[in-house]
Structures are given as structure tokens and as C-alpha cells.
Structure 1
Amino acid sequence: MEIMEIIKAIILGLVEGLTEFAPVSSTGHMIIVDDMWLKSADFLGRYPANTFKIVIQLGSIFAVVVVFWRRFVDLLGLNQFIRGKVNNTIQRLKLSQVIVGLIPAGIFGLLLEDFIDEHLFSTETVLIGLLLGAVLMIIADKYASSVPNTTTVDQITYRQALSVGVIQCFSLWPGFSRSGATISGGVLMGMSHRAAADFTFIMAVPIMAGASGISLIKNWQYFSVDALPFFIAGFISAFIFALVSIKFFLKLIDRVKLLPFAVYRIVLVVIIYFLFF
């Protein structure tokens, strides 16, 4: 195992970790890196790119679990085993609300999976997704309520959860960004930016874990003792940078809103277009 291979794993883990939960589309960034760097330079060498992407995505998922572990304990009904007697009269986000938010994209994802894999995974389609997602984020900020009626994730209604889930379907287009779509949808439905972000991250765990788990089973034959240090380095890198990114993003989102991320996406589209097209 060469040191350069470990450095490569750390770099890709960094890209995944920093972009997975910011509204800039980690899938879009990975496709761009894949098209512009990995394929052209044989960047990963003997290691299968798709398998490695699954591993680093699992690192990002683990970071969300660490940040929101108390919330997941509540959702799974395990709080009584950890905290003792719990006051059930306090309004809390319910697991059923998370499930309602996941249903629309889950259905459309299953129906359109083959079409998306065959036709939408290219730099050109990612640029379209980045641009359209930026437009939605600008619209969300423009029409956001100055006094949101849902300031915390525990105040979310089933109607809001379903509406966010429907808007999440746009993120099936690579580059659109799942977090960008769901946060924008939440804001348009009367949530504060922070409440929408919290709900987005919580919803991310089951949907990403499920997709990664299925992919992991399909690609299990590509794991080997020789590749283990490479995969571990990528996993740890993605976990650390995702952890930092999530905490930083949650502290800023109510102050900076979505506009700076939309501007970044538009600038990225322009740069990639003129550099490579």
C-alpha cells in the first residue's frame, strides 16, 4: 500500500465529507471529480471507484448519527433505557413523520433508478442540476417567512413532512442536491432554515444507509484485505470532514441562509462549463 494511495483516499473522503450535507450536491461533485479526474488519470488504480464511493458515503452517514444520536434514540423509542422515565407530553419529532418524508423520493427512486443510472450520471447533467437547484434555493430565501411558524424540528407537521418529501424528489436528478431541495422545501413550507436543516439531516440517515447497504451487498466481492487500508482511510476522512461540515453548517444556516450556497453553485457551473466545454 503506497502512501499516495492513502492520500488519494483522504482527498476523496474530504470531497465527500465537505459536500454531502451542504446544499451543494456531493453526488454532483463526485461525478465531476470522477469525469475530470478519476477516469482520465486512472486515479484509483486497482480500486473500484463505485465501491470506494459507498465506503466514504457510509463515513458521512456515521457523522450524522454521531451529531444527532440523541434524536435517533428518541425516534427509535430507546430513550427510556438511557434516560429513565421520559415525559411523553412534550412534543417531539416522530419516526412516522420521518417515514412520511421519505416515501415520495423512495417511490420515484425505485421507479426511475435505471433511467437515472443510464442517462443522468454525467458532468453535463450535473451542471443542469446544480443550476436548477440554485434557482430553487434563491426562490426559497426570497419567499421565506420573516417569522417562520416552525422554528424547531419538533414542531414539524405531517403536511410539512410530506411536502418536503415531494420536493426531495427533485434531488433524484444528480447535482440538484438532496439537502438543497429539502431545506428549500422546508423553508417554503414555513420552517426556519435550522429546523429544515435538522429534518434534512435526520431523513438522510435511513435513505442513505439503505441505498449504501444495497450497493455494499452488490459490491462485496471487491473488498479485500489489500484494499482495506485504502477504504479505511477514505471512511475516516469522510467521517471527520462530514462531522466538521455538519456542525459548522448548522451553526451558520439561520444566519447566512441558502443564498451563498446558491451563488457558489452558479459560479461552479460557469467555471466547469468554460474549462471543459
Structure 2
Amino acid sequence: MEDLIKAIILGIVEGLTEFLPVSSTGHMILTADLLNFTGERAKSFEIVVQLGAVLAVLVLYWRRFTGIIVDVLKFDLMHKRGINPMHLILAMVPAVIVGLLLHGFIKEYLFSPQTVLIGLVLGGILMIVAERAKVKVTAENVDGITYKQAFGIGLFQLLALWPGFSRSGSTISGGLLIGTSQKAAAEFTFIVSVPVMFGATLLDLVKSRDILTTQDLPVFLVGLAAAFIVAMLAVVTFLNLIKKLKLSWFAVYRFALAAIFLIFVVL
């Protein structure tokens, strides 16, 4: 029962933070440390539970994903009506390659409170730099994103492999630096996160099969369900907020969180 309660708490944290530029993985690692939910099993949970939030995006954007699937089945990968499968492929390739090569290293050395604090600070600095760069916007909405911009956002997504950087924080910052609006980069990040997180979850489950048991299934499912329900509300809320809030506000939050955790927990 205690583990189920922890799973619900972590699922809520994941659902609230997955699509905010504050690092959901970082928040889960810090929260898990406070709950004393650690070890290889916990690291796998922190990856798998993100799938719950990603499923929320799949439901909210089902029409767009249906269109993308139809395009793939028709081998129409590069049509000119907004984003298409090639945009997703270009954005996914960097993370897929590096994630496969460094999966073991990332789980062993980067899933700790100390590395998360570093990621929170560096990610916050990146967000401030991107906001102040004032690059001319050439893609106001997600359908205006070019192939070059899609690949560029994919390269910035690599930073999210370091827990604490944040996928949305890295990709929105990257989008601003290469000419997309905040909203366009955010929506594109949501869409790309679906195949990326499905792949990351499958990879982790395969590689962690020796340490996971059927007894872990209820904990994983409860956390995933909690993340899904909360993320359904969080995605819509964030898309409304991103039109009004500056990235620097989220950066300040990241700095404050890192400082508080450093002072009261790490030291």
C-alpha cells in the first residue's frame, strides 16, 4: 500500500510537470528521493510513468496522430500540408541514436538529485538566453515548422537526456533560437514526445526485465494512470499559459527549486 501511495504522488508530479519547462524527470527524482523511493526499480518507474502523460497527448491530439498514421500507411512522408511524418522522424533521430547508445550510462550516472540540480540550473540559463536572443519568428504555429527547424529542435531535445534539463524547456528554447514561436515549439514538443517516450519506455522495460517482477505491475499502472489523468488537464492549461508567460519565469522557478533542495536536502 505504501508503494501505491508513492506511485500516485509521483504520477501526479509527472502529470503536472511533463509539459512544463521545469523537468518532470528531475521533479520525480527529487520527489522520489524525499519519499525514499530509490534504486533500479525506481529509475525504471520514473521512465515508464512518463508514458501516462504522453498518452494524454495521444488522446488530445488524436486527429493529428490519425492523419500521421494514415500518411505513413500511404507512404506519404513528405506532403506539404503542415507537419508530416518526416518532421517527426527528423526530430526523433538524434534522441533515438544517442538514447540507445547512452541508455545504461544515463540511468547509472545521471539519475541522482545532484545531477538534477545541475540540469535545473543549466536548463534555466538556456531558457533565459533563448528568450533574450529575440530571433525573428518564421513559424508562428506548429504547421509552419520547417524540416530544418524540426531537426534543430531534435538536437536540442538531446539535452533532455540529462535529467533536470526538461524536454519541453530544451526544445522550446531551441525553437526560439531557430525561429519558432513558443507555442509552435511547445505543440511540436508534445507531438514528438509520443513516439520518443513510447520507444524509451519499451527500451527500458526490455533492459530492466531482470529486475522487474509481476509485483511491480500494480505500482507502475497506478503511477501511469495518475500521470495520465493529471496530464490531460495540464496540457490544455500549459498551452494557454505559454501564450502569456515568459520562459524566464520558469527559469526563476528552476533556480529556486534547485537552491531549496540543495540547502535543505543535499547539504
Length-normalised TM-score, structure 2: 0.88
Amino acid at match of 2:90: V
Q: Which residue is 2:263 aligned to?
A: 274
Task: Give yes or no for the alignment of 1:35 onto 2:28.
Answer: no
Q: Which residue is 2:56 aligned to?
A: 63
Structure 2 CA distance, aligned partners of 1:124 and 1:54?
18
Q: Which residue is 1:49 aligned to?
A: 42
**8 Å Cα contact 2:25-2:46 kept in structure 1:** no
Q: Which residue is 1:121 aligned to?
A: 111
Task: Give yes or no for the alignment of 1:263 onto 2:263.
Answer: no
Amino acid at match of 2:165: F
Amino acid at match of 2:83: L
Q: Which residue is 1:77 aligned to?
A: 70
**8 Å Cα contact 2:116-2:164 kept in structure 1:** yes
* Alpha-carbon distance, 1:95 to partner: 0.7
For each residue in 1:79-122, what CA deviation from the matched residue of structure 2 results, as whole angstroms up to 9, or x when unmatched?
Answer: 999xxxxxx98722011011101112222223333332332222
For each residue in 1:31-67, what CA deviation from the matched residue of structure 2 results, as whole angstroms up to 9, or x when unmatched?
Answer: 2123333248x9xxxx942443344222112111011
Amino acid at match of 1:10: I
Amino acid at match of 1:113: H
**8 Å Cα contact 1:193-1:257 kept in structure 2:** no
Structure 2 gaps of 5+ residues are none
For each residue in 1:149-196, what CA deviation from the matched residue of structure 2 results, as whole angstroms up to 9, or x when unmatched?
Answer: 211111111111111111222222221111110011011111111100
Deviates more, 1:159-168 or 1:196-205: 159-168
Q: Which residue is 1:151 aligned to?
A: 140
* Alpha-carbon distance, 1:204 to partner: 0.6
**8 Å Cα contact 1:126-1:174 kept in structure 2:** yes
**8 Å Cα contact 1:192-1:254 kept in structure 2:** no
Alpha carbon RMSD of aligned pairs, Å?
2.6
Percent sequence identity over aligned pairs: 48
Amino acid at match of 2:237: F
Task: Give yes or no for the alignment of 1:214 onto 2:212.
Answer: no
Deviates more, 1:50-59 or 1:168-177: 50-59
Length-normalised TM-score, structure 1: 0.85
Q: Which residue is 2:11 aligned to?
A: 13
Amino acid at match of 1:112: L
* Alpha-carbon distance, 1:78 to partner: 6.3
Q: Which residue is 1:197 aligned to?
A: 186
* Alpha-carbon distance, 1:207 to partner: 0.9
Change (3 A) 1:6 1:203: same
Structure 1 gaps of 5+ residues are 82-87
Task: Choose 1 or 2 for highest CA Rg.
Answer: 1
Corresponding residue SS for 1:254: coil
Amino acid at match of 2:13: V
Structure 2 CA distance, aligned partners of 1:142 and 1:119?
32
Change (3 A) 1:39 1:79: closer
Amino acid at match of 1:159: K
Corresponding residue SS for 2:242: helix
Corresponding residue SS for 2:179: coil
Deviates more, 1:66-75 or 1:49-58: 49-58
Change (3 A) 1:8 1:79: same
* Alpha-carbon distance, 1:216 to partner: 2.2
**8 Å Cα contact 1:54-1:216 kept in structure 2:** no
